[in-house]
Amino acid sequence: MDSRKDNGQQEIDIIQTKNKRDQYVMEIRKSKVDELIRAKRIKLAKNINLNKENTKPNKNFGEIEGENMQVHEELPSFEKLTTQFFEAVQNDNVNLLLSVVISIRKKLSVNENPPLQEFIETGLFPHLIKFLNEEYASIENLQFEILWIVSNSFSGTPEQSNKLLTDSLLKTLVKFIWDKRIEIVDTVNLPF
């Protein structure tokens, strides 16, 4: 009888050890994937900056500063960014709008504990998605930044992702998967 208990306990210990090992391996994989994604995003941001300088005079819309993502950079609160966002939309101020979107992207691009829940609670996500429509296609860097925000937003919990995922968002993202700009396609494919 004691040997059955010992065998049963040994089997439980083996299963628990295997589960812990599997969890550890998954954490390592997730960490490596996160690091690869971050490196790829920085590379994409550099490429977009080079493309902008070489092909189009879009400098009036601001610069993407992917390589300058500093954890200690002081960014405005989501409350202030929300106010600025709606002010920019109301006044058709593309420069302010791009600046706000870049600040949101930077806040969500931190490696550890990005403030996804705080961002979701602002209610800005559906408003940002509207700028992925065809009528805003001429503002490529704005769309790129918003796609980057979408990508970062899906790095949270399944519950957070479910709050953001809609049929219209999926249809919009599918359109971008076939885009001719490789940096856009890569950004759309990162969360999937």
For the stretch 99-123, pLDDT in tens is 999 999 999 988 788 899 999 999 9
Residue 68 has pLDDT above 50, yes or no: no
Instruction: Count up the domains in the chain and report the number.
Output: 1
Amino acid of residue 117: Q
Indicate whether this model's pTM tops 0.85: no
With bands split at pLDDT 50, 70 and 90, how would you rate the model's confidence at 134?
A: confident
Give the per-residue pLDDT at 89.
92
CATH code: domain of residue 9: 1.25.10
Task: Give me the domain span that covers residue 11.
Answer: 2-189
CA 167 distance to own-chain centroid: 18
The answer to whether 142 and 136 have CB atoms below 8 angstroms apart is yes
CA 136 distance to own-chain centroid: 20
Q: What is the pLDDT of residues 157-177, one digit of tens each?
A: 888 888 888 888 888 888 877
Asked whether the CA dihedral 35, 38, 42, 47 is positive or negative, the reply is: positive
